[in-house]
Structure 1
Amino acid sequence: MKHIIFDCDGVLIDTEIVAAEVTVAWLNSEKVNISVEEFILQHTGKTYSNIINGLKAEGFLKASLKTDTIVHLLDDKVKARVRPILGVSDLLNSISVSKSVVSNSATSYVAQALNKIEAAHHFENRIFSAEMVAHAKPSPLVYELAVSTIGIPKEEIIVVEDSQTGVQAALAAGLKVLGFLGGSHIQPGHGEKLKQLGVFDVASSHEELAKKLALLANN
């Protein structure tokens, strides 16, 4: 292993639960009947634009709503509550190989989040966002962009993802994926779902993840 690609939300920063709470509160205000648990199961890993446009297409949201305006509103609320997942600083400090971030979130959001948790220097501006490609995860395009830019063979790269959407994207790009279960949004049985998709292993905390990545780096 010579390079690690991390997803951002739910792997480095503990925002998936925050994003679910914020978005569900807004959806409920728009008369969409959905719980935080249902949102996590149905939409974790998707972009706000895809969620909102999908609900418009299905008739749950008014077609007249401006998606971009809503996305900015939700983004701002989530940014204000960004926090690192426990142990992320020790994890990143323990890894000697180069690292990058691949996310469905906007580049500016990821950059701000990494700065807020004092982790930006670990990635040396290697941030790849779905806004850089035609389609977000589960499309493999953003992972393919990252691999071509990094210039390291796929066989020497490990991806760390928490969502089914992200795992599907990375696997479709031909990458090896380790599932992360340490975010506060993770539901019972999620690890088995990721294994069924094709992750080669899972880690329940950053401490466990650090040990497994260390073993991979030394083999």
Structure 2
Amino acid sequence: MSCDLVIFDCDGVLVDSEVISCRVHAETLTRHGYPITTEQVAERFLGRSGREARREIEAELGRAFDDALEAQLVADVLRSFAESLEPIPHINEALGALAQPVCVASSGTLERIAFALTRTGLHARFAPHLFSAEQVESGKPAPDLFLHAARQMGVAPARCVVIEDSVPGILGATAAGMTVLGFVGGSHCGPGMAARLTAAGAATVFADMRQLPELIR
């Protein structure tokens, strides 16, 4: 494939964070009057921005959450990241073998992206090219974030390859006119994930980051 830029999602692609994040969100939301399981959080909100998840939950409840909830979620997630977050296996090896420029396009906030990448020793590989859904009007599955990243990096969408682990991410990247590869090597990925990513439009699906350089070549 023709590629001048590789765009990485963060959670579940660079860092093995989705199980941690979904668990913390389930616990915090449940404490604040919205009972939900870790599995339900993953099913409904994986790959989407916290802003959009909050809007959906508030619409169901018919009331707004107190702003303290957002602050509590951020604090709880970052504390859990500090305790146990790890990079995706072999991601450093894969990044070292890529000839193309790289950047991050994540549904997380810039604070969370920077914290996760710093914790796992990956920040220097990407900074300052970190792009968040909070910088665009609509997050994944809209194409806005990917198009924003491509514009900032000065690369045409058709020359970008995106690495994603969620259906909203796959849909957003394909809507942006980019080639997208589905990654299913995170600890949150079950046996049906590969089929779901393929059905959403992934050009191919892989589970070991050591495969990535050859896939792009």
- TM-score normalised per structure 2: 0.90
User: Which consecutive segments of 4 or more residues in structure 1 shift more than 6 A?
Assistant: none
Superposition pairs of residues 7-26 of structure 1, within 5 angstroms: 7-26=9-28
**2:147 is equivalent to residue 117 of structure 1:** no
**2:148 is equivalent to residue 141 of structure 1:** no
| Larger displacement relative to structure 2 (117-126 or 154-163) | 117-126
CA deviation map 1:139-197 (0-9, x unaligned): 21111111111112222211000011111111111111000001111122111111111
Count of aligned pairs:
213
In the TM superposition, residue 31 of structure 1 has moved relative to its aligned partner by 4.2
2:13 alignment partner, SS class: coil
2:92 to 89, 92, 113: 89
**Partners of 1:98 and 1:123 within 8 A in 2:** no
In the TM superposition, residue 198 of structure 1 has moved relative to its aligned partner by 1.0
| Larger displacement relative to structure 2 (148-157 or 74-83) | 74-83
Superposition pairs of residues 157-168 of structure 1, within 5 angstroms: 157-168=160-171
In the TM superposition, residue 7 of structure 1 has moved relative to its aligned partner by 0.3
1:36 to 38, 41, 46: 38
Match of 2:154 in 1: 151
2:200 to 179, 197, 201: 197
In structure 2, the CA distance between the partners of 1:68 and 1:34, relative to structure 1 (3 Å rule), is closer
Please give the alpha-carbon distance, in whole angstroms, between the structure 2 residues aligned to 1:163 and 1:205.
16
In the TM superposition, residue 207 of structure 1 has moved relative to its aligned partner by 1.9
Please give the alpha-carbon distance, in whole angstroms, between the structure 1 residues aligned to 2:205 and 2:31.
36
Please give the alpha-carbon distance, in whole angstroms, between the structure 2 residues aligned to 1:135 and 1:165.
12
In structure 2, the CA distance between the partners of 1:173 and 1:78, relative to structure 1 (3 Å rule), is farther
Q: Which runs of 5 or more structure 1 residues have no equivalent in the other structure?
A: none
Match of 1:184 in 2: 187
| Larger displacement relative to structure 2 (144-153 or 27-36) | 27-36
2:57 alignment partner, SS class: helix
**Partners of 1:49 and 1:71 within 8 A in 2:** no
Query: What letter is aligned with 1:8?
Result: C
In structure 2, the CA distance between the partners of 1:120 and 1:34, relative to structure 1 (3 Å rule), is same
1:58 alignment partner, SS class: helix
Query: What letter is aligned with 2:126?
Result: F
Superposition pairs of residues 41-56 of structure 1, within 5 angstroms: 41-56=43-58
Q: CA RMSD in A?
A: 1.9
In the TM superposition, residue 124 of structure 1 has moved relative to its aligned partner by 4.2
Aligned sequence identity (%): 29
Q: Which runs of 5 or more structure 2 residues have no equivalent in the other structure?
A: none
**Partners of 1:13 and 1:84 within 8 A in 2:** yes
**Partners of 2:16 and 2:86 within 8 A in 1:** yes
Please give the alpha-carbon distance, in whole angstroms, between the structure 2 residues aligned to 1:174 and 1:11.
20
In structure 2, the CA distance between the partners of 1:75 and 1:47, relative to structure 1 (3 Å rule), is farther
In the TM superposition, residue 56 of structure 1 has moved relative to its aligned partner by 1.6
**Partners of 2:20 and 2:77 within 8 A in 1:** no
